[in-house]
Structure 1
Amino acid sequence: MHDSSHHSVDPVLAVLRQYFGFEAFRGFQREVIDHLLAGQDAIALMPTGAGKSLCYQIPALLLPGMVVVISPLIALMQDQVAALWQNGIRAAFLNSTQSSQESAKVMQLARQGAIDLLYLAPERLLMEHSLTFLSQIPIVLFAIDEAHCVSQWGHDFRPEYLGLSVLSERFPTVPRLAVTATATALTRDDIIKYLKLQQAKLFIASFDRPNIHYTVVAKNDPKQQLKRFLDAEHLHDAGIVYCLSRKRVEEIAEWLVQNGRRALPYHAGLDKETRQRNQSQFLQEEGVIIVATIAFGMGIDKPDVRFVAHLDLPKSLEGYCQEIGRAGRDGLPANAFLTYGYEDVIKLRRLLINSQLTENLARSARQQLDTMLAYCETTNCRRQMLLRHFNEAYSHACGNCDNCRAPVSTWDGSIAAQKALSCVYRTGQRFGVEHLIDVLLGKKTERIIALEHMQLSTFGIGSDLDARQWRSVFRQLIAADLLVIEPVYGGLRLTERCRPVLRGEQAIRFRQDAKAPIAVKKDVQAKRGTLSVHHHSKELWQTLKKLRQDIARQQGVPAYCIFHDATLQELIDKRPITEQDLSKIYGIGSRKLKEYGADLLRIMKQFAPDGIDV
């Protein structure tokens, strides 16, 4: 008798294929799912776009009962639930946008066992009547999304998350999963402590996002730098531009519109309706750019954001990683572009002084800012440095950041550094960069005459460099912690570390700031593909996008809920012409095959190359 066990179907994989249209799990999704199916607690730290949601959506389809997902953003619940229905999964949410009739209907369906996944905001969950309602239903798992919100070390702290410890008390037998994309050791300890997850197994994914290309440029007319970047790389793409202040957000959005782009502002100063309208336009329509403060973006599920640009220095590498993590969630190539100058550092240091932080938090914030600066100034592979920050070994150069693409030339700056540092010392350690540069260049400004700085030995000793080069020198001396900025007036002071440089015992090398960002050459561009679509495929691409847009409009959901770009790309590459072929395409599960298969095959046949007998 032959052994038929290898014919037995793997139920977990079968659900992945049937509902999501994927052939295989990525990373440790499978291990997390198996662990939860066995009734255990887990904490999963995975970068944005690594497929965290599958870890709790699949148990909802396999276990007899309901999975409750706690998510902080109401606007996104709608889209997540809509996307799940597209896949034929019974999902619902309870939040303040619903009428009491709608809420009552959802609760009734839940009691009847007609819902597999229920999304709730933490505030809603903590209401006594919600807890009572949940205790009447067989719950098989609590999934706590964006779990880093429990930690005050992050930039997304939400006090209501602290109340979620109630789950371990009220539902001691129900397994819990905490997921987040922000994972410093401090945050991780807080998640374990405050959510009472001491027994949970920790799953830590690689934080590498190989499809993201990193570029950092020294700030020099940021609007024009942004324009050049967009014109060269992202003529029609959707993306996010982050700025530090609300005023700047409005200004950049308006400027982009004047330059023929569809751009919308998003910040906490806009009324709720406007914010929601702008967010849903960004999510539902193609090619929209959102200009925002960091108030925007937590949990943004749009898979086809092709770039994230920062026009001001982020406060920390964690924040930066989370913000750029919103690009390229579909795994296709995307860009992270950052411009920064030393005035950003002054601005952020000032904000720190004025904030009411405890000494500990303030020190931590200063260190985070220093790390961010070091990332900008590094001449080595940026990806290496980012991953090292998350305690992840990455031994080789990545080949997909500006420093790897066009290695930075450096120059021996020992003498320039000595001149700059002496000038700071001679002027009394209380002036900002612009005045110091005037002294070095020997300019007779009113201020220099009034202060008698023409008498100083450093007056005019720096004429071998121009003002732009001196700015770069000062910026790098600050990044190297040889100078610190006095936060109130922006004056510069020497640090202990500059002694050996001044004495000539320690050489110092500076990075050569490029005159202008070198645009990626077009052939490289095609290789890292802004979707490498050949001419005859272009029409097919447009036709498929139009079909997707029409279906999405009809149903009032974002286009990506219907198909991801990656699905369209695979249709073009593989040219399926039978239903059997179609069922193997990435992201086409059984419901989408049934609903949209005929339309897709009609288009595919219309574009079939001549000579194929269809």
Structure 2
Amino acid sequence: MQRALDTLRHVFGYDAFRGVQGEIVGHVAEGGDALVLMPTGGGKSLCYQLPALLRQGTAIVVSPLIALMQDQVEALRQLGVKAAFLNSSLDAGAALAVERAFADGELDLLYVAPERLLTPRFLSLLERARIALFAIDEAHCVSQWGHDFRPEYRQLTLLHERWPDVPRIALTATADAPTRREIVERLALEDARQFVSSFDRPNIRYTVVAKQDSRRQLVDFLRERTRDSGIVYCLSRKKVEQTAEFLVAQGISALPYHAGLDAEKRAAHQRRFLREDGIVMCATIAFGMGIDKPDVRYVAHLDLPKSLEGYYQETGRAGRDGDPADAWMAYGLGDAVLLQRMIEESESGEERKRLERRKLDALIGYCESTACRRQSLLAYFGEAHAGACGNCDNCIAPPRSYDGTVAAQKALSCVYRTGQRFGAAHVIDVLRGAQTQKVFQFGHENVSTYGIGTELDAKQWRSVFRQLVAGGWLAVDVEGHGALRLTSASAGLLKGETSLTLRAETEKAPKRRESRNADVVAELSDEAAQRFEALRAWRSAVAREQGVPAYVIFHDATLRQIALQEPGDLDALARVQGVGVAKLERYGRDVIETLAGGQ
């Protein structure tokens, strides 16, 4: 372990491991297999990068994501580590040069896509090389029940079959219990030691708002974060493009990203997001999984994700640097109806559909919960949390609740009286006695529930219906175009045998500070803040010159420490966390000069 700590300080610039990192590094370095479940931003990469430097040979890192490979390789090269990648972005000559370097034992780490690894050519290369370890990143891709299944991952058991003495480490940030079991089974990791870190991301603030005018709500959210980088997720490609266009029209720097754009445009948009501040990336979930950008300050969802597992993975792309970040979501009953329809209309088998329905139910329950969001989210992954986290909307501004039994009875009665053939919008019109063409067309001004719900406005009734669906008192008939129908649980409520407490619809979301990122900078003195901004400007110039994202030069956290400690020479700079030997040699004098000029 002393050698591991020396390497950690010398190469990565840190004096100590975080959490269970040290245990994992020691176990794998000594030749043990491991399954690592650790949240995004928890330091998973170090768990295989450091053993790769401690063991003889080259570590093979299996990753499904081209962008992530490239970023991680560049970051390692900045540290003086001999790393390379093999993927479709390389031309034949460049790929051949990497293969030769690998065969000659000149690489510490080689990143490769599973499709490339499984080719006879690459397997033949592996036979002739000395392998330090196999790291299987994004290991949840092996699970057909997970949110990002990749069939090629199923064939990775051949690594164990062909090289039984080479240690393997499988890593993922998101895996519920069924997915975890499948990773173990599919990758033959039954004898591997499992390391499960807390899934809690305490720096992320979780907020769910009821959809009113979701675009306007999003703009209100973004107005306070104009200097921050963030991701806005939408369910469809069309909505991605429309949202990006709308934001640009509002004076917000936004770019679209989805699989329908040509590869060159996608790559250009991704480069801008990685290298510029204040860019909003509007995207489908195809974007972000391979993004190593540590200073994404928020992730916003304009549509419901497909599961809590997906939601956790997507929101986890915010605040990887440990600084304050936001996970914001606008949610409406229509989202749930659309996702239910997608499940029912898919060609999946009944077992798969049942699982997806359960996952959607859990997500809707999370959205409607009056409890601590963090407690609800972690419970899904089997982790207990005391609640009262102080960093979610329900804890910051606890929702009011009220006896909603009568309101629920009116809602259920109206669904029944109108024939269980209509969605919430029409049923609400009937309850409120609206004089619409549709009400008169179906003669619903004559039903006994017409006009009995004028004590609540339309927004409040939408909240009632969302909660009744979430609680199982109403079901959505997907084949009936989203019509609401009673369930077996409805009878007891209608008869008054059960009472129901509902969440009251709040007028406004809790007041937010101007920028969560600004909070961190505000902790610096005026002089230190000036030094920090001077260092950021220097870093941006160097990054542009090298054509790399700024964070691979130094993270913001490292620059803040430099600004705070104000080292006067290279020896003092070497003691700052995040400044290893290679970066000290490469950038040390420039940093000292920048500090001197920023006084």
* Structure 1 residues 54 and 398: alpha-carbon distance in aligned structure 2, compared to 1, 3 A threshold: same
Equivalent in 432, 454, 458 of residue 463 of structure 1: 454
Q: Give the aligned partner of residue 482 of structure 1.
A: 473
Q: Give the aligned partner of residue 117 of structure 2.
A: 125
Q: CA deviation at 1:577?
A: 2.0
Q: Are the aligned partners of 1:526 and 1:532 in contact in 2 as well (CA < 8 Å)?
A: no
* Structure 1 residues 451 and 259: alpha-carbon distance in aligned structure 2, compared to 1, 3 A threshold: closer
Q: Are the aligned partners of 1:218 and 1:340 in contact in 2 as well (CA < 8 Å)?
A: yes
Q: CA deviation at 1:44?
A: 0.3
Q: Are the aligned partners of 1:70 and 1:145 in contact in 2 as well (CA < 8 Å)?
A: yes
Equivalent in 430, 441, 444 of residue 450 of structure 1: 441
Q: CA deviation at 1:278?
A: 1.1
* Structure 1 residues 584 and 499: alpha-carbon distance in aligned structure 2, compared to 1, 3 A threshold: farther
Q: Give the aligned partner of residue 424 of structure 1.
A: 415
Deviates more, 1:483-492 or 1:102-111: 102-111
Does residue 261 of structure 1 match 2:252?
yes
Q: Deviations over 1:396-423 (max 9, x none)?
A: 4111111111111112211111100111
Equivalent in 566, 586, 589 of residue 580 of structure 2: 589
Q: Are the aligned partners of 1:473 and 1:510 in contact in 2 as well (CA < 8 Å)?
A: yes
* Structure 1 residues 411 and 527: alpha-carbon distance in aligned structure 2, compared to 1, 3 A threshold: farther
Equivalent in 300, 305, 314 of residue 314 of structure 1: 305
Q: Give the aligned partner of residue 379 of structure 1.
A: 370
Q: Give the aligned partner of residue 355 of structure 2.
A: 364
Q: Give the aligned partner of residue 112 of structure 1.
A: 104
Opposite residue 34 of structure 1, the aligned amino acid is G
Q: Give the aligned partner of residue 157 of structure 1.
A: 149
Q: Give the aligned partner of residue 103 of structure 1.
A: 95
Deviates more, 1:40-49 or 1:495-504: 495-504
Q: Deviations over 1:286-331 (max 9, x none)?
A: 2211110011111311000000000111110000000000000000
* Structure 1 residues 525 and 61: alpha-carbon distance in aligned structure 2, compared to 1, 3 A threshold: closer
Q: CA deviation at 1:565?
A: 1.1
Does residue 25 of structure 1 match 2:21?
no
- Partner of 1:306, secondary structure, is strand
Q: Deviations over 1:542-567 (max 9, x none)?
A: 21111111111111111110011111
- Partner of 1:399, secondary structure, is coil
Equivalent in 21, 24, 36 of residue 44 of structure 1: 36
Equivalent in 300, 309, 315 of residue 324 of structure 1: 315
Equivalent in 238, 262, 285 of residue 271 of structure 1: 262
Q: CA deviation at 1:506?
A: 2.0
Does residue 207 of structure 1 match 2:211?
no
Q: Give the aligned partner of residue 346 of structure 2.
A: 355
Opposite residue 550 of structure 2, the aligned amino acid is A
Q: CA deviation at 1:534?
A: 4.8
| Superposition pairs of residues 217-228 of structure 1, within 5 angstroms | 217-228=209-220
- Partner of 1:52, secondary structure, is coil
| Superposition pairs of residues 142-153 of structure 1, within 5 angstroms | 142-153=134-145
Q: Structure 1: how far apart are the matches of 2:305 and 2:542?
A: 38
Does residue 282 of structure 1 match 2:273?
yes
Q: Are the aligned partners of 1:548 and 1:563 in contact in 2 as well (CA < 8 Å)?
A: yes
Opposite residue 443 of structure 2, the aligned amino acid is E
Deviates more, 1:78-87 or 1:107-116: 107-116
How many aligned positions are there? 598
Q: Give the aligned partner of residue 612 of structure 1.
A: none
Q: CA deviation at 1:58?
A: 0.4
Q: Deviations over 1:479-523 (max 9, x none)?
A: 11110111131110111122222122222122122223232246x
| Superposition pairs of residues 164-179 of structure 1, within 5 angstroms | 164-179=156-171
Q: Structure 2: how far apart are the matches of 1:302 and 1:329?
A: 8
| TM-score with structure 2 setting the length | 0.97
Q: Are the aligned partners of 1:229 and 1:519 in contact in 2 as well (CA < 8 Å)?
A: no
Does residue 400 of structure 1 match 2:391?
yes
Q: Are the aligned partners of 1:155 and 1:319 in contact in 2 as well (CA < 8 Å)?
A: yes
Q: Are the aligned partners of 2:60 and 2:111 in contact in 1 as well (CA < 8 Å)?
A: yes
Equivalent in 78, 81, 88 of residue 73 of structure 2: 81
Q: Give the aligned partner of residue 564 of structure 1.
A: 555
- Partner of 1:471, secondary structure, is helix
Q: Deviations over 1:368-423 (max 9, x none)?
A: 11111111111110000111111011124111111111111112211111100111
Q: Give the aligned partner of residue 6 of structure 1.
A: none
- Partner of 1:431, secondary structure, is coil
Unpaired stretches in structure 1, ≥5 consecutive residues: 1-8, 609-614
Q: Structure 2: how far apart are the matches of 1:230 and 1:152?
A: 36
Q: Structure 2: how far apart are the matches of 1:152 and 1:483?
A: 30
| Superposition pairs of residues 295-306 of structure 1, within 5 angstroms | 295-306=286-297
Q: Structure 2: how far apart are the matches of 1:133 and 1:281?
A: 36
- Partner of 2:587, secondary structure, is helix
Q: CA deviation at 1:525?
A: 5.6
* Structure 1 residues 450 and 109: alpha-carbon distance in aligned structure 2, compared to 1, 3 A threshold: closer
Q: CA deviation at 1:526?
A: 8.2
Unpaired stretches in structure 2, ≥5 consecutive residues: none
* Structure 1 residues 514 and 534: alpha-carbon distance in aligned structure 2, compared to 1, 3 A threshold: farther
* Structure 1 residues 380 and 527: alpha-carbon distance in aligned structure 2, compared to 1, 3 A threshold: farther
Q: Structure 2: how far apart are the matches of 1:323 and 1:25?
A: 26
Opposite residue 359 of structure 1, the aligned amino acid is E
| Superposition pairs of residues 45-60 of structure 1, within 5 angstroms | 45-60=37-52
Q: Are the aligned partners of 2:396 and 2:510 in contact in 1 as well (CA < 8 Å)?
A: no
Q: Are the aligned partners of 1:424 and 1:492 in contact in 2 as well (CA < 8 Å)?
A: yes
Q: Give the aligned partner of residue 222 of structure 2.
A: 230
Does residue 497 of structure 1 match 2:489?
yes
Q: Are the aligned partners of 2:297 and 2:517 in contact in 1 as well (CA < 8 Å)?
A: no
Q: Are the aligned partners of 1:332 and 1:531 in contact in 2 as well (CA < 8 Å)?
A: no
Q: Deviations over 1:39-61 (max 9, x none)?
A: 11111011111111101100111
| Superposition pairs of residues 235-246 of structure 1, within 5 angstroms | 235-246=226-237
| TM-score with structure 1 setting the length | 0.95
- Partner of 1:213, secondary structure, is strand
* Structure 1 residues 286 and 527: alpha-carbon distance in aligned structure 2, compared to 1, 3 A threshold: closer
Deviates more, 1:313-322 or 1:184-193: 184-193
Percent identity over paired residues = 53
- Partner of 2:201, secondary structure, is coil
Opposite residue 268 of structure 1, the aligned amino acid is A
Q: Give the aligned partner of residue 508 of structure 2.
A: 516
Q: Give the aligned partner of residue 181 of structure 2.
A: 189
Does residue 294 of structure 1 match 2:305?
no
* Structure 1 residues 367 and 528: alpha-carbon distance in aligned structure 2, compared to 1, 3 A threshold: farther
Deviates more, 1:200-209 or 1:574-583: 574-583
RMSD: 1.6
Opposite residue 104 of structure 2, the aligned amino acid is Q
- Partner of 1:265, secondary structure, is strand
Q: Are the aligned partners of 1:419 and 1:458 in contact in 2 as well (CA < 8 Å)?
A: yes
